[in-house]
Amino acid sequence: MKMLADIAEDSMGTNPEEDLRVLLEACRLSLHKLDEDLIERAFRFCVDIHKNDVRADGKPYYTHLLAVALIVVREIPLDDISVAAALLHDTVEDHEPRVSLEDIRKQFGNKIAEIVDGVTKIKDISKSKEITRAESYRKLLLSLIDDIRVILIKFADRLHNMRTLEHLSEDRKKRIALETLEIYAPFAHRFGLGTIKWELEDLSFKYLNREQYDAVKTGLKSTRQEREDFISKFIDPIAIRLKENNITFDISGRPKHIYSIYNKMRVRERDLDELYDLFAIRIILNTDDKNECFFVYGLVSEIYMPVPERFKDYISVPKKNNYQSLHTTVIAGDGKRVEVQIRTKSMHEIAEKGVAAHFNYKQQSLGKNFTFGGKDLEEWANWMKEIFTSENVGDEDVQQLLESFKLNLYQQEIQVFTPQGELRVLPIKSTPVDFAFEIHSAIGLHCIGAKVNGRIVSLDYKLQNGEQVEIITSKNQNPNRDWERFIVTHKAKQGIRKHLNEEKRTLTAEGKELWDRKIKKHNLHIDDDMLEKILQILKFENKGDFYFKLGNNEANVDLNIALIKERLKPGAKDPDQVSSVPKQETILKTVRESSNGIFVIGSKGASSSIAYDYAKCCNPVPGDHIMGIVATGSAIKVHRKTCKNLIDLQDKIQGRIVQLQWASVQQGEFITAIKLEGEDRPGLLHEVTNAIVGFNNTNIRSVNIHAVGSEFKGIVTVFVKNTDHLHRLFDKVRKVKGITTIDRYEG
């Protein structure tokens, strides 16, 4: 299969004057406005600068710049500024004579210099490590901040490099091909550059898996005549009906590209001759009336039997890259399935050339104010830029970021609706949490439940195409890391991660402040090295981990002060030689020396500094019978006596169990979970939450309810003052029609 830019490629470099003539002629045919003097000056400049440079294929280096410029002219036609920048994009390099960005600015102006600078910054990013591939995304997205032409020229540059990749070493071929498949092809897809995306995929596949590439290509070639005969026979009756209705059209059949066919074979586990949808029929109408597309769909459906579930209306609901077309699959006379795409000429231009087509039609500036690819694509680029310009992305987040970017660049999509009928486009397998963040980050952060088509669903429910989603929120709800297990959109992941990181930073700062106050009070002088050594012995990862656990009540500040004092006593071993903590008796003695809202039974008195934490498995509240487990260097874990985990561990940790009781006066609220079961019906969740909130202004932390058929099961996490509050809450909820079971939840 001959690539689009093969025309005159072989003769390039033999005669620069002829090359210039070819370029100018292409510009005259494709560009709305043309400064021929600018193009000629840029061409002669790049030829002169690279007169001593040769490519790997032996041709003068300027032929690469010329080829990139021709791609910009013929395949993603923009403007003369873009063509000049394409010719100059490799001139600011370490070669003789040296050329600076200032030289480009003086000779060709600020705008061209800015674009050349942007393309140069993205250069030489091909590496095998995840961190560098993520950095590739960063550089590509940052190029959008000033001028989108930067990234479009980079697409052209990468496309020509892939077309001439055979001249490089095997290692470099695979490295560049992998980066192209993982980064540039998905970006081209997101920008609507359909033709370029397909070619980048096929060329990458060719160098990454040559055996399979050749097998598919050979298989297609062997059936070419049969396929052409079938297409001709298939389109004849359609063409006749279109002419009878005085419709001006272009109709053709095309095989799907090689990489796409290979993926179908792999996913469906079928051989090439077992696939019947290897080609698509495209009907392009010479009109701007989108209603004519639906009329033509009706005509096609009268001739061939349509497959209802395979009809897709991307005209009324365009894809996020602004792709518009009607897709239908019909059954041909011999039983084969054939995909038919119907679109207008302008829709086809956008489908093939994406952002460039918008510019071509609107003839507007591609600077900061350019709205490219529609509102959805602009929003996508905006939040991507926000992520990439953040200084808080650490190395540990790179892998997660990379996977999220791939998903959001190259996603299958579903369309879901708000209760008001507003459309939201999300990746396939999105959940109510993803939907909530799509509406607004505040709604996502405080999401406690959802209803889909009027029925309660769990937060990890996978949304389906066409569903209506209602989000229920609570000001007391906050996300937890468990949500990251099932959410799919980067917007949701970034929002949750940002919230959790901010929460961790706050708790770490509070822990450090608490620690500094305590060591000052005890007149201790501990340098950082000494503290690090002791904390490692006490099984803390580092100082940050220690401060966070102090701030989060997971570590006992007084207990750790006592343990460190043991280390600092005269005659104590050097921290480097100490491999264990003080005896259990020392720990329990320290614990019994103080108390806050919890008493240790058998202690002489109570002060106000004991550190304790309520076990999340059973969530005790005042009024419950309680016991505690002493953890080395940490707070006492307070359990209900009936807690299954406590009972299971009792024999193994007998020496660390302490008998506890509640202080006579308790302040504040305690978190606990309620398990509900019953018969599902419209409005049930609303009535349950009203019953809870209506009693003493009880705060709801979260709701997770799942309906199956006519029944539902769920868990509602609430804040209560004591067991009396909880039991009276049970009485209120039992009165809600449909509730059959209510109990404490442990887990």
Residue 403 pLDDT greater than 60, yes or no: no
Residue 569 CA to its chain's centroid (Å): 53
Q: Which residue has the tokens 């005669």?
A: 15
CA distance 195 to 352: 5
pLDDT at 556: 63
Q: What is the mean pLDDT of residues 355-367?
A: 49
Query: Are the C-beta atoms of 594 and 606 separated by less than 8 Å?
Result: yes
Summarised one tens digit per residue, pLDDT across range 3-13 is 444 445 666 76
Residues 6+ apart with CB under 8 A from 312: 326, 327, 328
Q: Which pair of tokens denotes residue 229?
A: 């005969």
pLDDT at 448: 82
Q: Which pair of tokens denotes residue 496?
A: 């949750």
| Residue 574 designated active-site | no
pLDDT at 275: 63
**CATH fold of the domain at 4-193:** Hypothetical protein af1432 (1.10.3210)
Q: What is the mean pLDDT of residues 217-224?
A: 77
Query: Which pLDDT band, with edges at 50, 70 and 90, does 350 fall under?
Result: confident
CA atoms within a 13 Å half-sphere pointing along the CA-CB vector of 31: 23
CA distance 573 to 569: 9
pLDDT at 386: 52
Instruction: Give 673-740 as a DSSP string.
Output: EEEEEEE--TTHHHHHHHHHHHTTTPEEEEEEEEEETTEEEEEEEEEESSHHHHHHHHHHHHTSTTEE
Query: Are the C-beta atoms of 440 and 447 separated by less than 8 Å?
Result: no
Query: Which pLDDT band, with edges at 50, 70 and 90, does 579 fall under?
Result: very low
Range of 234-238, 533-537, 607-611 with top mean pLDDT: 234-238
Q: Which residue has the tokens 């996977």?
A: 403
Angle at 656 between CA 652 and CA 661, to 5 degrees: 120
Query: Which pLDDT band, with edges at 50, 70 and 90, does 379 fall under?
Result: low
**144 vs 256: which has the higher pLDDT:** 256
Element (H, E) at 457: strand 455-457
Choose among 253, 166, 169: nearest CA to 213. Answer: 166
Question: Which CATH code fits 218-353?
Answer: 3.30.460.10
Query: Which pLDDT band, with edges at 50, 70 and 90, does 93 fall under?
Result: low
pLDDT at 391: 47
**19 vs 528: which has the higher pLDDT:** 19
CA distance 202 to 582: 65
Looking at residue 412, its amino acid is Q
Residue 582 pLDDT greater than 70, yes or no: no
pLDDT at 463: 92
CA distance 702 to 704: 7
| Residue 18 designated active-site | no
pLDDT at 238: 93
Q: What is the mean pLDDT of residues 547-553?
A: 77
Q: Of residues 6, 25, 57, 93, which has the active-site annotation? A: 93
Residue 390 pLDDT greater than 80, yes or no: no
Query: Which pLDDT band, with edges at 50, 70 and 90, does 125 fall under?
Result: very low
Range of 71-75, 159-163, 265-269, 379-383 with top mean pLDDT: 159-163
CA distance 118 to 116: 5
Instruction: Give 154-168 as a DSSP string.
Output: HHHHHHHHHHTGGGS
pLDDT at 395: 44
pLDDT at 20: 92
Query: Which pLDDT band, with edges at 50, 70 and 90, does 136 fall under?
Result: low
CA distance 442 to 433: 11
CA distance 726 to 417: 37
pLDDT at 343: 93
Summarised one tens digit per residue, pLDDT across range 471-499 is 988 777 778 777 888 898 878 888 888 88
Q: Are strands 312-313 and 305-306 parallel, antiparallel or unpaired?
A: unpaired
Angle at 166 between CA 163 and CA 172, to 5 degrees: 100
- CB atoms near residue 401 (< 10 Å): 20
Q: pTM of the full predicted structure?
A: 0.56
Residue 323 pLDDT greater than 90, yes or no: no
Q: Which pair of tokens denotes residue 192?
A: 């609507």
Percent of the chain with pLDDT over 90: 17
Least reliable range by pLDDT among 408-412, 477-481, 730-734: 408-412
| pLDDT averaged over every residue in the chain | 77
Range of 116-120, 121-125, 398-402 with top mean pLDDT: 116-120
Residue 126 pLDDT greater than 80, yes or no: no
Choose among 231, 279, 250, 254: nearest CA to 344. Answer: 250
Choose among 727, 718, 732, 734: nearest CA to 672. Answer: 718
Radius of gyration for the chain, computed over Cα atoms and rounded to the nearest angstrom: 33
Q: Which pair of tokens denotes residue 144?
A: 């959008």
Query: Which pLDDT band, with edges at 50, 70 and 90, does 200 fall under?
Result: very high
Q: What is the mean pLDDT of residues 466-470?
A: 87
CA distance 633 to 552: 14
pLDDT at 558: 63
pLDDT at 241: 93
Summarised one tens digit per residue, pLDDT across range 138-149 is 555 555 545 678
Q: What is the mean pLDDT of residues 324-329?
A: 90
Q: Of residues 17, 94, 396, 576, which has the active-site annotation? A: 94
Query: Which pLDDT band, with edges at 50, 70 and 90, does 359 fall under?
Result: low
**348 vs 412: which has the higher pLDDT:** 348
Choose among 436, 583, 444: nearest CA to 500. Answer: 444
Summarised one tens digit per residue, pLDDT across range 599-612 is 665 544 443 445 67
Angle at 262 between CA 157 and CA 264, to 5 degrees: 120
Summarised one tens digit per residue, pLDDT across range 666-701 is 667 888 999 999 888 877 887 888 888 888 878 887
pLDDT at 186: 81
Residue spans per domain, the chain:
4-193, 218-353, 670-744
Q: Which pair of tokens denotes residue 673?
A: 């979970």
Query: Are the C-beta atoms of 739 and 674 separated by less than 8 Å?
Result: no
Q: Which pair of tokens denotes residue 64?
A: 């690469």
pLDDT at 568: 63
CA distance 6 to 67: 10
CA dihedral 129, 130, 136, 141 (to 10 degrees): -170
Choose among 697, 707, 686: nearest CA to 476. Answer: 697
**277 vs 202: which has the higher pLDDT:** 202
Query: Which pLDDT band, with edges at 50, 70 and 90, does 516 fall under?
Result: confident
Domain 670-744 CATH (choose: 2.60.120.10, 3.40.50.300, 3.30.70.260, 3.30.1180.10):
3.30.70.260
